[in-house]
Amino acid sequence: MTRFLAHILAPLLLATPAFAQTAEAPVMGSSAIEEEAVLEEASQITDILVLGDAVGGGLGAGLTRMANIDGRYEVASRFNEESGLARPEVYDWTATLPKILESNSYDAIVVMLGANDRQMIRAGNERHAFNSPGWIAAYRAQVDMMLDELAESGAKVFWVSVPPMADPEYDAAMKIITALQRERVEARGMSFIDIRPQFSKPDGSYTDMGTDDTGEFRKLRGRDGISFFKQGNNRLGQLVLEAIARAKTATPKPAKVSLPDTVSIQQSPAVPPREVPLFGQTAMLGDVITLRPKDVVMSAALVVGGADALAPAAALEAVRALAPRGSSAEKLFRLGQASTAPRGRADDFSVPPPQPE
């Protein structure tokens, strides 16, 4: 495969000497390399903002500890222990958010609110009892207003469910609140993280025991049936950090191919799109061997440089872009036409097939 790949790349490399000779790179050990390394490291840090009530504040602490261990995240927390969405007159998150976000930029915003929302909502001169039709409509409106502000930030939003509560009536109310929050968050296409199963028994009932961030089975919740111990908050943070990492992996940024100014790219006639061109020759036994250059990503890496992160289609386009018009490289990568191998070379398959006796 190495010899075959070298044969494929040979016409392309020979056709573009200016690229190989004029590409500039800083001298090893120079300040330019050090500065680029620092900038690259900084660009890989994900900035996270955590918003919440008392339970959300515990999540923020646990997430901060887990992020410090990982090293790829920076976490900031803003929480008010008595806050929620049902009583904006006590603490208005919708009014506070613009002030928090105006001087800061975050890649991800994590929200955990609702533990204090099992109470009446005031809407103008009206008062709505918890879970009444008027309360449900008003609560949806409060969630939507906060989501509006979060959407304006441009950050990826991760809304975390209220955890299970020990008191059955309290927990039933939290299930109602969780369902309404999930409905509004998912309607916006944002991420909703339901952590209830991780802190419940298999039958869905409350438990204060569970697996912590190290995999040890231990007590995670406080005696009040609401709060979390440190190890419980660490587990909360671990679950959220895993969700953020999965979201980053699921939606990678499109790869960009940067070409030096010294390369002159000539436009060739349009070719019907194909995943990868097919090419081949007649083998010794007279059969046609059709090949597909699966190593085109490596080809782009050798020619363009730093292309190891390119997807196959992007790598192929990079190699096609460098192929001069009329060259063997253009015939191979644009038209799928392989040049005939010189007689006697290892890839010369022109030996006549054996004749039947």
For 297-313, the pLDDT digits (tens) are: 444 444 444 444 445 55
Q: What local confidence, expressed as pLDDT, does residue 214 receive?
A: 94
The answer on pLDDT for 175 being more than 90 is yes
Q: Is residue 85 part of a domain?
A: yes
Q: What local confidence, expressed as pLDDT, does residue 299 receive?
A: 43
**What CA–CA distances, in Å, run from 216 to 46, 65, 234, 239, 254?**
28, 17, 12, 15, 39
Tell me what percent of the residues of the chain surpass a pLDDT of 70: 60
For residues 292 and 244, state if they share a domain. no
pLDDT tens-place string over residues 188-227? 999 999 999 999 999 999 999 999 999 999 999 999 999 9
For residues 177 and 244, state if they share a domain. yes
For residues 6 and 1, give the distance between their C-alpha atoms in angstroms, rounded to a whole number: 8
Least confident of 92-96, 150-154, 255-259: 255-259
Q: Is residue 97 part of a domain?
A: yes
Tell me what percent of the residues of the chain surpass a pLDDT of 90: 55
Q: Domain span at residue 102? A: 42-250
Q: Is residue 54 part of a domain?
A: yes
Q: What local confidence, expressed as pLDDT, does residue 46 receive?
A: 94
Contact 46, 108 (CB under 8 A): yes
For residues 206 and 282, state if they share a domain. no
Confidence class of residue 30 from pLDDT cuts 50, 70 and 90? very low
For residues 169 and 314, state if they share a domain. no
Structure tokens at 55: 């339970």
pLDDT tens-place string over residues 233-244? 999 999 999 999
For residues 130 and 180, give the distance between their C-alpha atoms in angstroms, rounded to a whole number: 13
Q: Rounded to two decimals, what is the model's pTM?
A: 0.60
Number of domains in the chain: 2
Max distance between CA atoms of the chain, in angstroms, equals: 104
Q: Is residue 83 part of a domain?
A: yes
Q: Is residue 338 part of a domain?
A: no
For residues 305 and 225, state if they share a domain. no
Number of Cβ atoms within 10 Å of the Cβ of 190: 17
Number of Cβ atoms within 10 Å of the Cβ of 260: 12
The pLDDT of 141-161, averaged and rounded, is 96
Of residues 284 and 173, the one with the higher pLDDT is 173
For residues 209 and 265, state if they share a domain. no
Top-confidence range, 31-45, 82-96, 332-346: 82-96
3-state secondary structure the chain: CHHHHHHHHHHHHHHCHHHHHHCCCCCCCCHHHHHHHHHHHHHCCEEEEEEECHHHHHHHHHHHHHHHHHCCEEEEEEECCCCCCCCCCCCCHHHHHHHHHCCCCCCEEEEECCCCCCCCEEECCEEECCCCHHHHHHHHHHHHHHHHHHHHHCCEEEEECCCCCCCHHHHHHHHHHHHHHHHHHHHCCCEEECCHHHHECCCCCECCEEECCCCCEEECECCCCCCECHHHHHHHHHHHHHHHHHHHHHCCCCCCCCCCCCCCCCCCCCCCCCCCCCEEEECCCCCEEEECCCCHHHHHHHHHCCCCCCCHHHHHHHHHHHCCCCCHHHHHHCCCCCCCCCCCCCCCCCCCCCCCC
For residues 310 and 274, state if they share a domain. yes
Which of 178, 179, 185 is CA-nearest to residue 156? 185
For residues 207 and 309, state if they share a domain. no
The answer on pLDDT for 29 being more than 90 is no
For residues 185 and 325, state if they share a domain. no
What CATH number is associated with residue 113? 3.40.50.1110
For residues 209 and 276, state if they share a domain. no
For residues 133 and 200, state if they share a domain. yes
pLDDT tens-place string over residues 315-349? 566 656 656 666 666 677 667 776 677 676 666 66
Q: Is residue 94 part of a domain?
A: yes
The DSSP annotation for 161-175 comes to PPPP-SSHHHHHHHH
pLDDT tens-place string over residues 40-58? 555 589 999 999 999 999 9
For residues 89 and 221, state if they share a domain. yes
Average pLDDT of the residues of the chain: 77
Q: What local confidence, expressed as pLDDT, does residue 31 receive?
A: 52
Last residue of a domain, one of 250, 269, 284: 250
Q: Is residue 30 part of a domain?
A: no
The answer on pLDDT for 134 being more than 50 is yes
Q: Is residue 298 part of a domain?
A: yes
The answer on pLDDT for 106 being more than 90 is yes
The answer on pLDDT for 177 being more than 60 is yes
